[in-house]
Structure 1
Amino acid sequence: MRTSDAVWAGAAGYTRARLQVYDFFIYGFNSPVAWKCPGEELLENYNRHVSGNHLDVGVGTGYLLDRCRFPTAKPRVFLMDLNPDALQVTAQRLHRFQPQTLRRNVLDPIRFDGEPFDSIGMNYLMHCVPGSIPEKAVMFDHLSALLKPGGVIFGSTVLSEGVDKGIVARAIMDRFNKKGIFSNTRDAASDLTRALEERFDDVSVRVVGCVGLFSARKRTCAGTESPA
């Protein structure tokens, strides 16, 4: 798989060893303490939007998928990530759903010939993708091709501009941006909203602490689609 160093830097840090402690640091410290966004907020976003025909992108460890309320007992679940360790760890955790895995780079057009999805989730992914929001929003174009008309895309991202960053949040963001793990120094809720509104309907962006929680629906009329 051909990827730039900047793209791989945002994914490569999630080794098997680090994934073993991922939940503790992300949902036990970073999210509630540094970003001021409790895990309950993230989980509620999943409970509100996840379907029985779901694709999850940037899977981490599958923490939210493991806890959310699917509307059916046997959902169709696909997992997409650039990091093979994250895919394997999450697939093992969610083995009861028999998930399918796809190793893809969301900044490239996505090869997929299966049935499109009713929901696509992307939790804490966008701030790890290089570029400004207008630049990396191309991921929405690529993922929209995998979404049914009227389907929902939703998730969360850590913002940097226009949010109240405390000392801890500022220190973590500065360090992660320097290491290439994050790329969010210019990310603002207004840019996220604009990127979604250019492509989707029923856009919602809600800021909790440093986190933008978002959702949007794919347009049902082909004539209203914005050009990529």
Structure 2
Amino acid sequence: MSDSDLILRGGRLDSRKFPGRRLPPDDQLPEQRNSSPTNKDLNNDTAATPSSSSTSANEENTGTAWYTPLTLPFYDYHVLGFNMSFVWRCPTSSVLLPFFRQNFTLNHLDVGVATGYFPSAALLQLQQQQQQQQQQQKENHQGSSSPIPTTTTAAAPAALTLMDLNPHSLEAARSRILRDNSNPGSVEIETVQHDALSLPAPGVLRRRRFASVSMFNLLHCIPAPCEEKTRAFELAAQCLLDGGVLAGCTVLPVEEAVGAGAGGWWRVPLAGLHLRVYNSEGGRRVFGNLGDTREVLERGLRRWFDEVEVKVVGCMLLFRGKGPKRAGTEEDG
């Protein structure tokens, strides 16, 4: 079974069905949070109380306001399942999840967390690999008089930070990762409620510095001009270690949909219909991407990263930037 076949099912990875799982009732989430000694909130180390500026921004952003305790349980089925496979033609299991895993480290910042599907799946895979390595070492030492090296029996805990405007998404993602985690002591989760376009990045993130940052399915939900959305790349550059990597994906308008797997002409109207609905008042404006272009986003990436890769699959732009530019330049490369 390949990595791309792994998906979440019933709280664990499974190869038979696409991810889709019901989140616990919202009133259970704070209790789960408080029961975890490794969880912190970066806005307040003693209580998860969002700042007034974050709250007001969240109320104005209809894209993030859509994620509520009523809608989040359907996110994996509808967005990561149906939409990615049949509308945007960029399947989660075979394209997006492998791409996320390739750029995931144990010192990671996930921006725009939704249900926490991607970091949860990537972290669980790393844990499984570590367990397999330990098991292999034990088997190799069977029949040997030498002891198993103690340095291989324990690993440093993963440090995972979740950032989002929506407190419901932060709660749901954190709780999911803790539930899916096979070893509760092997991951430390911190949360921060912050706007991805609000600069500078929070001081706690800039001081922390991460080896990897992800922005999956975030930019198309931000109601802002495309050029302004590139401020999120600056935020990532501020938070990354030297040589760190940013990876993400976003839905492009149909006129930009020239990627592999876009399908026949009948798929373009299907994607266009969904884009019009999601960008409309009737669709609650969960999207704000009709003016987004690959050119502007790529130029923004090159402004803040030394090495940039972009690829269009179906209607999705996959992007990666490595080597953050601290001061930023106007050189577009």
C-alpha distance in 2, partners of 1:18/1:219? 35
1:24 corresponds in structure 2 to 77
Which amino acid is the alignment partner of residue 246 of structure 2? I
Following TM superposition, by how much is the alpha carbon of 1:131 offset from its aligned partner in structure 2, in angstroms?
1.9
1:6–1:170 distance in 2 versus 1, CA, 3 Å: farther
Cα deviations by residue, 1:130-166 (Å, 9 ceiling, x for unpaired): 2222111111112221111110011100001421562
C-alpha distance in 1, partners of 2:310/2:270? 24
Q: Which stretches of structure 1, 4 residues or longer, exceed 2 Å deviation after superposition?
A: 1-7, 69-74
2:17 corresponds in structure 1 to none
C-alpha distance in 2, partners of 1:101/1:58? 11
2:225 corresponds in structure 1 to 132
For residue 279 of structure 2, the aligned residue among 151, 158, 177 is 177
C-alpha distance in 2, partners of 1:6/1:80? 16
Q: Percent identity?
A: 32
What pairs with 1:79-158 in structure 2 (closer than 5 Å)?
79-95=162-178, 96=181, 97-109=187-199, 110-113=201-204, 114-158=207-251
For residue 119 of structure 2, the aligned residue among 65, 78, 81 is 65
Which amino acid is the alignment partner of residue 329 of structure 2? S
How many residue pairs match? The answer is 226
1:55–1:219 distance in 2 versus 1, CA, 3 Å: closer
1:127–1:6 distance in 2 versus 1, CA, 3 Å: farther
Partner SS for 1:118: strand
1:213 corresponds in structure 2 to 318
C-alpha distance in 2, partners of 1:70/1:59? 19
Partner SS for 1:99: strand
C-alpha distance in 2, partners of 1:91/1:154? 20
C-alpha distance in 2, partners of 1:70/1:155? 20
Following TM superposition, by how much is the alpha carbon of 1:206 offset from its aligned partner in structure 2, in angstroms?
0.5
2:137 corresponds in structure 1 to none
- In structure 1, runs of 5+ residues without a counterpart are none
C-alpha distance in 2, partners of 1:45/1:208? 12
Partner SS for 1:183: coil
Following TM superposition, by how much is the alpha carbon of 1:4 offset from its aligned partner in structure 2, in angstroms?
4.7
CA contact (8 A) 1:6 1:130 kept: no
C-alpha distance in 2, partners of 1:26/1:47? 19
C-alpha distance in 1, partners of 2:215/2:58? 22
For residue 161 of structure 2, the aligned residue among 78, 85, 102 is 78
1:32–1:149 distance in 2 versus 1, CA, 3 Å: same
Pair 1:14 & 2:108 matched:
no
**Larger deviation, residues 65-74 vs 16-25:** 65-74
1:143–1:7 distance in 2 versus 1, CA, 3 Å: farther
Cα deviations by residue, 1:37-73 (Å, 9 ceiling, x for unpaired): 0112111111111111000000010111121244876
CA contact (8 A) 2:161 2:190 kept: yes
CA contact (8 A) 1:7 1:129 kept: no
1:48 corresponds in structure 2 to 102
Partner SS for 1:16: coil
Partner SS for 1:131: coil
CA contact (8 A) 1:51 1:70 kept: no
Partner SS for 1:198: helix
Partner SS for 2:279: helix
C-alpha distance in 2, partners of 1:123/1:45? 10
CA contact (8 A) 2:106 2:158 kept: yes
Cα deviations by residue, 1:165-190 (Å, 9 ceiling, x for unpaired): 62221111111111321111011212
TM-score (norm 1): 0.91
- In structure 2, runs of 5+ residues without a counterpart are 1-51, 131-154, 182-186, 259-266
Partner SS for 2:228: helix
